[in-house]
Amino acid sequence: MKTASVKPMQEIIRDGLWKDNPIFRQILGICSTLAVTNLVLNTFVMCTALTLVTALSCWTVSLLRSWTPRNIRMMVQTLIIAFYVIIVDVVLKAYWPDMSRSLGPYVGLIITNCIVMGRCEAFAGSNPPGPAFWDGFFNGLGYSAVLLGIAVIREGLGMGTFCGWPLPYFSTHWDKWIIMVMPPGGFFVLACVIWACRSIRPREVKK
């Protein structure tokens, strides 16, 4: 298996968090972005799970890359991702049952999250385990930063709370925007975030 020239750490961090951010740049992992961002606490747990799964899956895929036949690499990647997702799911069920019930099927659906498979395929398969781990980690962090921002806006405007705690003004005088905690609210806020982030740094360079 080929190994590309290793990316410097600063570049891995910058790409994951901003330049190639999975949400507003690559538009990946949108299902969970819309589904879990109506509560900050749920979003935080989902983001932690996804970041851990991405980092550890990338590390494992990279570790096995010399032995994995190219024609079955995607099956192997799916197996590895599923392994870590099931571990996270079982940990939540055993040690945080309320959160497990609250997140419902979305933890299991990390298996199908394009970010995890995308990073395994694009980076981990051709880079050493260390950089692959950090690439997965910072992509997860880039995803988390955007999702948490969206969740703060949605929970605040929709319910007047932050992690369940009443916010001054928003919990008392604010006429709560119920649509913000409904799926369409996720679309609106996500669209605004993508628009704002792309306005700061447009990718398309005019020739």
Partner 1 sequence: MNSRSFYAVGYMFLITAFFSTLIIGFARGTQTRVLANERLAFEKAVLTAFGNFSYKTDAEVNRLFQEHFAQNPEYGKAWVYKKDGVLAGFALPFEGKGFWAPIKGVAAVSPDGQKLLGLAFYEVNETPGLGARIVEPFFRRQFEGLRLRSQGLLLELKPEGTVLSEGQVHAISGATQTCVRLEAILNEQLKDWLDAMRREGRL
Site string for partner 1, 2-21 (x = CB under 8 A): --------------------
Q: By CB under 8 A, what part of segment 40-59 binds partner 1?
A: 42
Stretch that binds partner 1, among 14-22, 34-42, 47-55, 120-128 (CB under 8 A): 34-42
Please say which residue, 4 or 75, places its beta carbon nearer to partner 1.
Answer: 75
Interface with partner 1 (CB under 8 A), residue from 12, 23, 28, 39:
39
- Locate 95 and state its tokens: 């040690």
* Count of CB atoms situated within 10 Å of the CB of 135: 29
Q: Are 154 and 37 in contact (CB under 8 A)?
A: yes
Tell me the CB-side half-sphere exposure of residue 192, using CA atoms within 13 A: 11
DSSP sequence for 32-76: HHHHHTTSHHHHHHHHHHHHHHHHHHHHHHHHTTTTS-GGGHHHH
Q: What are the beta bridge partners of residue 166?
A: 161
**Number of chain residues interacting with partner 1 (CB under 8 A):** 32
What distance in Å separates the CA atoms of residue 202 and residue 195, rounded to the nearest whole number?
A: 10
Please say which residue, 19 or 70, places its beta carbon nearer to partner 1.
Answer: 70
Site string for partner 1, 67-106 (x = CB under 8 A): xxx-xx--xx--xx--x--xx--xx-xxx-x---xx-xx-
Q: Does 188 bind partner 1 (CB under 8 A)?
A: no
Outline where the chain has alpha helix (H).
9-14, 30-36, 40-63, 73-95, 97-103, 114-122, 129-159, 183-200
Q: Does 22 bind partner 1 (CB under 8 A)?
A: no
Q: Does 159 bind partner 1 (CB under 8 A)?
A: yes
Q: By CB under 8 A, what part of segment 115-154 binds partner 1?
A: none
Would you tell me which residues interact with partner 1 (CB under 8 A)?
A: 38-39, 42, 64, 67-69, 71-72, 75-76, 79-80, 83, 86-87, 90-91, 93-95, 97, 101-102, 104-105, 158-159, 176, 178, 181-182
